[in-house]
Structure 1
Amino acid sequence: MEKPVLAVLCGDDQARNLTESPAMQPIESAAVVRYTGEAGLADALRDADALFVYDFLSRAVPDAWHAANRLRWLHIASAGVDPVMFPGMRDSDVVLTNSRGVFDDSIAEYVLGVILTFAKDLHTSLDLQRASRWQHRETERIAGRSVLVVGTGPIGRAIARMLRAVGMRVAGAGRRARSGDPDFGDVHASGRLVDHLPGYDYVAAVAPLTEQTKGLFDAAAFAAMKPSARFVNVGRGELVVTADLVEALRTGGIAGAALDVFDTEPLPVDSPLWTMRNVLVSPHMSGDFIGWRDTLVEVFADNFHRWQTGAPLRNVVDKQLGYVPSDR
């Protein structure tokens, strides 16, 4: 039986990790594997049956799509699928799967960590330590404080469970309003987000990037928040109108922000976000625990086995919604 052809999009610095991964060895025996960077993607896609986008930050797939004459399945090594969500892909018969589930708990730990950093003023303590200054301060409790998690998928649920475990009051915002949710309790409709933002001390953005969520956090959203509120973005940079966020932080419209994702990455060196005292910046790493790269390959390998044997694939994305539909 003819082996399927698998194209694998990876950066030069990622190829070694892939080729040395034990999870790829059975795949290399079962398929013709074409490892490629962005420049060679079109050639690798010709007559390929499947595409593994291991370089999940790459935006090369749309430009190479014309060569995908036989493609049946595309898997991306991330939970977000916006780098491969374009009209040609959306309108095709190609099945799209993602790596949902890998980063849930790690991102939840990050969100708890930055909330504690703000509440306990840990960033100031580090500055004072470096200056050899003994300056007593009082800090905030997080127990009893309220959090709105915007995005009710698996990552949002992991965040909700972790924050509830430390005594915070959590609600969600998603496509439809409901009550009695096992993780969020109340879920507000994200279409009416501005109506609900005033009630929360922290707002965590983890929604997928879609036409409906792009620019969701704009001047009106930040104006609706408490002046004492802190904003955390672990979703997508494009969820936020950056200029509006900068203005809200500069004028005291909100008290602070922890940002792991940005509409331009790397964050430009001249961005005012770097030097704002009330901002915590991290370089798109909130979910990246030690060993995550290998885990992503293992997730793909499991789905490859399913695809090859005709079993149902995991994490099939609804291409019209732009994410894997939740059961809840």
Structure 2
Amino acid sequence: MEPVPPAPGGPPDVVVLTGDVPPSGMAAAERLARVRHVGESGLAEALPDADVLFVWDFLTDALADAWPSRGGPRWVHIASAGVDRLMFPELVRGDTVVTNSRGVFDEPIAEYVLGLVLAFAKDLHTTIRLQGARRWRHRETERITGARALVVGTGPIGRAIGRRLTAAGLEVSGAGRTARDADPDLGTVHPMERLDGALAAADYVVLAAPLTPRTRGMIDAAALDRMRPSARLINIGRGALVAEADLVKALRDGRIAGAALDVFEDEPLPESSPLWDLPNVVVSPHMSGDVVGWRDELVRVFVDNLDRYVSGRPLRNVVDKRLGYVGSDQRG
């Protein structure tokens, strides 16, 4: 990957699009660049003079409307692994380089997924409900050893999930853009064109794919019909990978045994959503990768890339804007 040429004329101008919790620990960035923090309301005014945009508020949809007509900053970095909110046509077509925070969330999310698998197999969510009701009800639970898990998405997060589930005794396979055998992390990787057959064989289906036009709504009524009635769906990728209304119906009808959802089509999940009340559903508020210190780590990833930008070295985690994610040829 070729370096992104820094702007001439001294330290670059960096705009940080902050959210409710602004980034701390930005002193290192301020030694490398002129840093300005703005909210959504100030973004359109700040962007024309920016060399670099750090999208700290990774849930914002404001960037497309604020993007300058003459083209935006040379480089945009987002404090998340997913970049779907940045893939609006003007940015995709332009020369702006996009990087993400790949690597921060891999292991925490893998641990979270293993916890969910164990919770389903050992029926922990029911135990907690019964304890709250002071009800003693003996049940038998399931083994995870030998259970089959399908990880949809073969990026770093999907690979970390595959390693963690394999270590726990599950038989893991994957689904991705390219088919292969004997993958070191995911075993057999099925091409997405053959996802239907892979779904039918899985006890746990874990969604870790990026959101692209190809993957949007991939788990719909037809896909859910192909899953086992005893299977569970776990989504830590993006909410729009799943057709939510189809999932609700499948859960109510007993077409699958349960779902654990950390991401949703609309966030926060509306209070009116039926997902809150379904006994076979675990709802969490987009927190699967958010361990103690995660915000500091996101800042460190940006500062490392900013140092590379200023010194003329290649950036890490450069997104292939045609695909909507970091290409497989990049490491770190």
Taking structure 1 as the reference length, the TM-score comes to 0.96
Deviation at 1:268, TM superposition (A): 1.0
Alignment of 1:99-248 (within 5 A): 99-248=101-250
AA of the residue aligned to 2:125: H
Q: Deviations over 1:291-312 (max 9, x none)?
A: 1011100000000000110111
Aligned-partner SS, 2:319: coil
Q: RMSD between aligned alpha carbons? A: 1.2
Deviation at 1:66, TM superposition (A): 1.9
Alpha-carbon distance in structure 2 between the residues aligned to 1:145 and 1:294: 36
AA of the residue aligned to 1:7: V
The one of 72, 92, 110 equivalent to 1:90 is: 92
For structure 2, list consecutive stretches of 5 or more residues without a partner in the other structure. 1-8
Contact 1:48 1:68 in 2 (8 A): no
Match of 1:293 in 2: 295
The one of 31, 35, 38 equivalent to 2:33 is: 31
Deviation at 1:134, TM superposition (A): 2.1
Q: Is residue 18 of structure 2 the alignment partner of residue 10 of structure 1? A: yes
Alpha-carbon distance in structure 2 between the residues aligned to 1:144 and 1:70: 51
Q: Deviations over 1:174-210 (max 9, x none)?
A: 0021111111110001122112211110000010000
Contact 1:201 1:229 in 2 (8 A): yes
Alpha-carbon distance in structure 1 between the residues aligned to 2:60 and 2:179: 34
State the percentage of identical aligned residues. 61
AA of the residue aligned to 1:159: I
Deviation at 1:43, TM superposition (A): 1.0
Alpha-carbon distance in structure 2 between the residues aligned to 1:43 and 1:69: 13
Match of 2:6 in 1: none
Deviation at 1:94, TM superposition (A): 0.5
Q: Deviations over 1:262-305 (max 9, x none)?
A: 00111111111000000000010010001101110000000000
Alpha-carbon distance in structure 2 between the residues aligned to 1:298 and 1:226: 43
Alpha-carbon distance in structure 2 between the residues aligned to 1:70 and 1:259: 35
Q: Which has the higher helix share?
A: 1
Deviation at 1:30, TM superposition (A): 2.6
Aligned-partner SS, 2:326: coil
For structure 1, list consecutive stretches of 5 or more residues without a partner in the other structure. none
Deviation at 1:69, TM superposition (A): 4.4
Match of 1:63 in 2: 65
Deviation at 1:70, TM superposition (A): 5.5
Aligned-partner SS, 2:21: helix
Aligned-partner SS, 1:14: coil
Alpha-carbon distance in structure 2 between the residues aligned to 1:191 and 1:217: 13
Alpha-carbon distance in structure 1 between the residues aligned to 2:326 and 2:62: 22
Question: Which stretch of structure 1 is more off in the superposition, 69-78 or 31-40?
Answer: 69-78
Match of 2:4 in 1: none
Deviation at 1:68, TM superposition (A): 6.5
Structure 1 residues 201, 310: CA separation in 2 closer, same or farther (over 3 Å shift)? same
Contact 1:45 1:67 in 2 (8 A): no
Alpha-carbon distance in structure 2 between the residues aligned to 1:290 and 1:46: 35
Aligned-partner SS, 2:307: helix
Alpha-carbon distance in structure 2 between the residues aligned to 1:190 and 1:69: 35
Alpha-carbon distance in structure 2 between the residues aligned to 1:252 and 1:68: 53
AA of the residue aligned to 1:35: H
Deviation at 1:28, TM superposition (A): 1.2
Q: Is residue 47 of structure 2 the alignment partner of residue 45 of structure 1? A: yes
Aligned length: 322
Aligned-partner SS, 1:188: strand
Alpha-carbon distance in structure 2 between the residues aligned to 1:252 and 1:29: 57
AA of the residue aligned to 2:101: S
Alpha-carbon distance in structure 1 between the residues aligned to 2:140 and 2:31: 61
Taking structure 2 as the reference length, the TM-score comes to 0.95
Alpha-carbon distance in structure 2 between the residues aligned to 1:125 and 1:52: 43
Aligned-partner SS, 1:6: strand
Deviation at 1:3, TM superposition (A): 2.0
Question: Which stretch of structure 1 is more off in the superposition, 124-133 or 167-176?
Answer: 124-133
Deviation at 1:42, TM superposition (A): 0.8
Question: Which stretch of structure 1 is more off in the superposition, 87-96 or 132-141?
Answer: 132-141
Aligned-partner SS, 1:312: coil
